[in-house]
Structures are given as structure tokens and as C-alpha cells.
Amino acid sequence: VFIVVALVCAFVPAFSVEEAEAKLLWDTCLFRISPKCALEIIGAGFENLTITDACCYDLVQEVKMCHDTLIKYIAEKPHLAAHETEYLKKSDALWTHCVSISQTA
């Protein structure tokens, strides 16, 4: 878990005091997804890597807000912000893909 937190924090901007509620949601969502799957989700959203069916199942067990929060906070990082719209579209496509995988099981 420590490794995933460290890797994700490298991509995630610092939260301000006004974003305490968003940070709580972030912390709750991050720790509810396995470290392996968190890395797969980030890889699929930002590096065009694939996600396993097992991680799709885990992702769909979370609410979509958790997935959206993860992707949005990373996409807002200054060196990624120019392509935020692209990442958010990929995020929606990933969610749709994982829902379809989960429904076929």
C-alpha cells in the first residue's frame, strides 16, 4: 500500500484546506482499491496500458465518483493539465469497459 500511495502522491497535487471533503473522499477511495488495481487504473488512464478483468471487477465495486476523483486529481497536475479533457474521456471509456466486463461475468 505504501508504494502505491507514494506513486499516486507523485502525480497528485497538494490539497488545500478548502478541499478537506474532497481529500476525505480521495483517501477513502484510494484505500478501498487494491494497490495493484490502483496502478492498473492509473496506467490505463494515463499511459494507455491495459487493465485486467479482475481490476475491472474491483473498480466497478467502487462508486463511479471514486474513479472520477482519482483520475481528475491526477489529471489536474500541472504537467498533465493540458490534456485533462483527453484523460477524462479515457476515464469514462475505462469505466464503461469495466462495467461491460463485469456484466458479462
CB 65 within 8 A of CB 28: no
Q: pTM for the full model?
A: 0.72
- Three-state secondary structure readout of 19-85: HHHHHHHHHHHHHHCCHHHHHHHHHHHHCCCCCCHHHHHHHHHCCHHHHHHHHHHHHCCCCCHHHHH
pLDDT at site 55:
92
Q: pLDDT truncated to tens, each residue of the chain (105 aa)?
A: 444 544 455 444 444 434 666 676 667 776 777 888 888 988 998 988 999 999 999 899 888 888 887 788 788 888 888 888 899 999 999 999 999 998 886
| 84-104 helix and 53-61 helix, angle to the nearest 10 degrees | 100
